[in-house]
Amino acid sequence: MDKVTLFAVITMIVSGLTIAIGSVGPSLGEGKAVVAALESIARQPEASGKISRTLFIGLAMVETCAIYCLLISLILLFGNPLNKLVLPE
Amino acid sequence: MGIDIEALEREVFPRTVTVAGVEILDTLLMTWLVMLLLGVGLWLATRRLEMLPSRPQAMVELIVEWIMKQISDVTGASPERFLTLIGSIALFIAVSMLLPLIPKLKAPTVDPNTTAALATVVFFSVPYYGIRENGAKAYFKQYLKPVFFMLPLNILGELSRTLSLAIRLFANCLSGGFIAAVTFFLLGIAAPVAVQIFGAFTGLIQAYVFMLLSLVYIAAAVRPSRDEETT
């Protein structure tokens, strides 16, 4: 396997794994956050505005990690700066 | 059955186009378009303000009242002080996220420069509002809380949350446009309709989140003077 093929294979594997592993944690965390928010809304419906606002802020914070992973994956596929090291131009 | 990568990159990423002999970045054109739509549209809707509002005026009042309610809920202060900044941010991002629904247009926020500009505005507005409310000394003393050697961590935290603000918006918008483009290239014309709608929906949620987060950062800088008030 020559250098270019090896580089391409590793890039593909890593970009797939990045988003696959990187979305497990945030999804679980967001699910738990939504469960807690729903329970507290059920307990106190009049505070639902404040609760949903705080929920959105918390979800945004958690989702940022998944977004970073997606961004890395897309960069690896489409804007890989190491391309010019490996590919003969 | 492959995907035309060149066409994909042309549709999704920002690129330079030539308009009337001038080379310009197409996301910059989109930014100007959003500014035009917002400025002209809102001006037209509020030209003659009457007590019994016409339908455009009522819609604008609804939006402004909603934004003011968000501001007063988060900061507990009178909403007029922050309305210009927060309202502009919210409206700009909301319209930018709805722009891809029109064919041939892409959202200006797929360019990381646009989102970085928005995050920079928020970054500089936090000390601006903090100093305007409480004075410079009280604002800078905040960085020494809770212990004085937290100073580098506080500064680093502030830089990193600005960065995350920019990247969150950019990556959400880019991935939305990406998925729409890929489904278009794979499945033809009908599939991207649902994807575009979902992308616009999540884009509006991201606009709300951006507005809310900048509100929270500004409120955290402004709040120390309100410790004695009973809100």
- Cross-chain residue pair A78–B13, CB shorter than 8 Å: yes
Q: Which residues from A are below 8 Å from B175, CB to CB?
A: 67, 70-71, 74
With a cut of 60, say whether residue B175 has pLDDT above it: yes
Burial of B46 (0-12, 13-18, 19+ CB in 10 A): middle
Residues B71/B79, Cβ–Cβ less than 8 Å:
yes
CB–CB of B172 and A67 under 8 A? yes
Q: Could you tell me which residues come within 8 angstroms of residue B137 by beta carbon, excluding any fewer than 6 positions away?
A: none
B99-119 average pLDDT score: 89
Q: Which residue of A has its CA nearest to B172?
A: A67
Quote the pLDDT of residue A28: 95
Q: What is the ipTM of this complex?
A: 0.80
pLDDT at B16: 82
Q: Residues B57-92: pLDDT tens digits? A: 888 889 999 999 989 888 877 788 889 899 999 999
Q: Is the pLDDT of residue B96 over 90?
A: yes
Assess whether pLDDT exceeds 90 at residue B144: no
**Torsion-angle region of B145 (φ positive above 0: left; ψ -120 to 50: alpha; else: beta):** beta
Rounded to whole angstroms, the Cα distance separating A6 from A12 reads: 10
Query: Alpha-carbon distance B155 to B143, whole Å?
Result: 7
Q: Does residue B146 have a cis bond before it (omega within 30 degrees)?
A: yes
Between B147 and B126, the more confident residue is: B126
Mean pLDDT along residues A4-18: 92
Mutate to test the interface with A, among B11, B72, B206, B209 (most CBs of A within 10 A): B209
Q: Which of these, B117, B89, B88, B101, lies nearest to B25 by C-alpha position?
A: B117
Query: Which whole number is the average pLDDT over A21-26?
Result: 94
Query: Is the pLDDT assigned to residue B228 strictly greater than 50?
Result: no
Please give the backbone phi and psi of residue B9, each rounded to the nearest 5 degrees, phi first: -65, -30
Query: Which pLDDT value is given to residue B143?
Result: 82
Tally of CA atoms within 13 A in the half-sphere of B228 that contains its CB: 1
Is the pLDDT at B2 greater than 70? The verdict is: no
Q: State percent of chain A over pLDDT 70.
A: 99
Pair A69, B173: CB distance under 8 Å: no
Nearest to B173 by CA among B98, B67, B118, B90: B98
Is residue B112 within a helix (H) or strand (E), and if so which, with residue range?
helix B112-134
Which pLDDT belongs to residue B187? Answer: 81
* Alpha carbon distance A38, A32 (integer Å): 10
B208 has pLDDT over 50:
yes
Does residue A73 contact residue A15 with C-beta atoms inside 8 Å?
yes
Structure tokens at B167: 């990247």
From A3's Cα to the closest Cα of chain B, the distance in A is 23
Distance (Å, rounded) from C-alpha B40 to C-alpha B42? 6
**Between A53 and B21, whose confidence is greater?**
A53
Of the CA atoms within 13 Å of residue B96, those in its CB half-sphere come to 32
- Both tokens of A56, joined, read 């959105």
A68 with B174: Cβ contact below 8 A: no
Q: Which domains does chain A have, with CATH numbers?
A: 3-79 (1.20.20.10)
Q: Is B135 left (phi over 0), alpha (psi -120 to 50) or beta?
A: left
| CB-facing half-sphere around the CA of B152: CA atoms within 13 A | 1
**Shortest CA gap B182–chain A (Å):** 13
Q: What share of chain B is helix, strand, coil (3-state, %, to 5)?
A: 80, 5, 20
pLDDT for B231: 38
More confident of the two residues B148 and B220 = B220
- Cross-chain CB nearest to A57 (options B164, B178, B216): B216
Contacts of B120 (CB under 8 A, 6+ apart): B162, B166
Q: Do A56 and B209 count as a contact with CB atoms less than 8 A apart?
A: yes
